[in-house]
Amino acid sequence: MKINLDEIIDPMEGRIVVTHDSSGHPHARFDLQGLPRVDGMLVGKTALEALKMTEHLCGICPVAHHLAGTRALDALSGLTPLTSAAQLIRRLLHYGSIVEAHSLRFLMQDRDAGVALKRISKKMLVAAGSPGHFPATAVPGGVSMWPATPTLCDLSADLATTRDAAAALCDAALASSPEAAGAGDFTGADVALIDDNGAPDVFGTRVRVARNTSAVDEFEFSQWNDRITEEIPGSPAPRPYLRVEGPENGRYRVGPVAQLSVGTLSTPRAATAQARWLAGGRGAAGARAIITLHVLERTEALTQQLTQLVEGADRGELVDPATVRFTAGSGTGLVDGPRGILAHTYALGADGTIAQARILTPTAQNEPWLAQLLTQASALDQAQQADAWEQSIREADPCLPISSAPAGQMGLKVENV
């Protein structure tokens, strides 16, 4: 079953709803009602059928859905832990998707750098076995192909130059210190993935919650639905919150800003840029550039490791998805994508079909943050509001093409209620 969101929503239009309290103060929110949840459509499907459906759910972040869904099914496949080679291939695929997504934002800032990043991201995706728009690399319990050594060498040859271009983008973003109104004053928590050493990691294995850059909680994937709950379950705008803090105080955000706010990055040039970012405006534009640089730095070492593994005898076996047998139970998979954490949870029945499904997108998780930004923008003079609304949407980055639209071309509709 193929899902075409373009048939349900207008991807180039956004709706802002503004209400006023009894004191006349405005409160604005971005309307997500046109973004349907497909969780219920997965019920009754087999694990692999559901996985294929979600891979084609979002044309903007297909790799994130591909990997989050596969990670959710890994534990139910009986084929864990994954081999080192399989983990590296998946990580390379994820890195490529992040560079590709962020490169589109840099085209307006520095066209040559943006084109270079787009080009290297394509090489990363090809090397990871997904040359088309929709991914075809990961399968429950492993991967379906090995990268070719010449392809990895071709990728390695261009990484240093592209990394320097990403570093220049970081310098430019930090020098101009772009910051949406109130971007640094979010009242909620930051939530992002970390590695086993506690460093921010977009393909990490644990979740960290931080407030004002100080960690307040950490937990495993399996605890996601125990720690994160929805105020309006099943709604396109479910208002998720940290269960222990309640809906009033437990709001949080995800994405590049959160990724830089939960710990120190593990690569040198990106960590240096991160320190400057933390001391400055902490805007999303600079965060995207720094995460891109970090991912490229990590890719340099990754390609060397992967080349050695795929040429060796201990790389493991490829997995044919048709041969995977799943056990009944529940599995949760997370990835920290270009827009933040994407969470897939599947509960498989004894007959091998999905009995329950829950997908929580970065857009849904960041809706309270975006509402705060839009509310701050609504308090400005009318002449300033349109630009401030657009900047707020770029900052929180909902998963719609309007997020990267040129200035003045977002197609926003404002409804005063």
- State the DSSP H helix or E strand holding residue 332, giving kind and residue range, or none if neither: strand 329-337
- Burial letters for 117-126: b for 16+ Cβ neighbours within 10 Å, e otherwise? bbebbbbbbb
Say how many CA atoms lie within 13 Å of 368 toward its Cβ.
22
153 is in an annotated binding site: no
E strands present in 181-249: 189-194, 206-211, 214-220, 228-230, 240-242
Contact 298, 96 (CB under 8 A): no
Sequence-distant (≥ 6) Cβ neighbours of residue 279 within 8 angstroms: none
Nearest one of 39, 62, 40 to 52, comparing CA atoms:
62
Contact 341, 365 (CB under 8 A): yes
Contact 261, 275 (CB under 8 A): no
61 is in an annotated binding site: yes
E strands present in 106-255: 138-139, 142-143, 189-194, 206-211, 214-220, 228-230, 240-242, 252-253
359 is in an annotated binding site: yes
228 is in an annotated binding site: no
Structure tokens, 100: 């590709």
Residue list, annotated binding site for Fe cation:
61
Residue list, annotated binding site for Mg(2+):
359
Residue list, annotated binding site for Ni(2+):
58, 61, 399
Residue list, annotated binding site:
58, 61, 359, 399
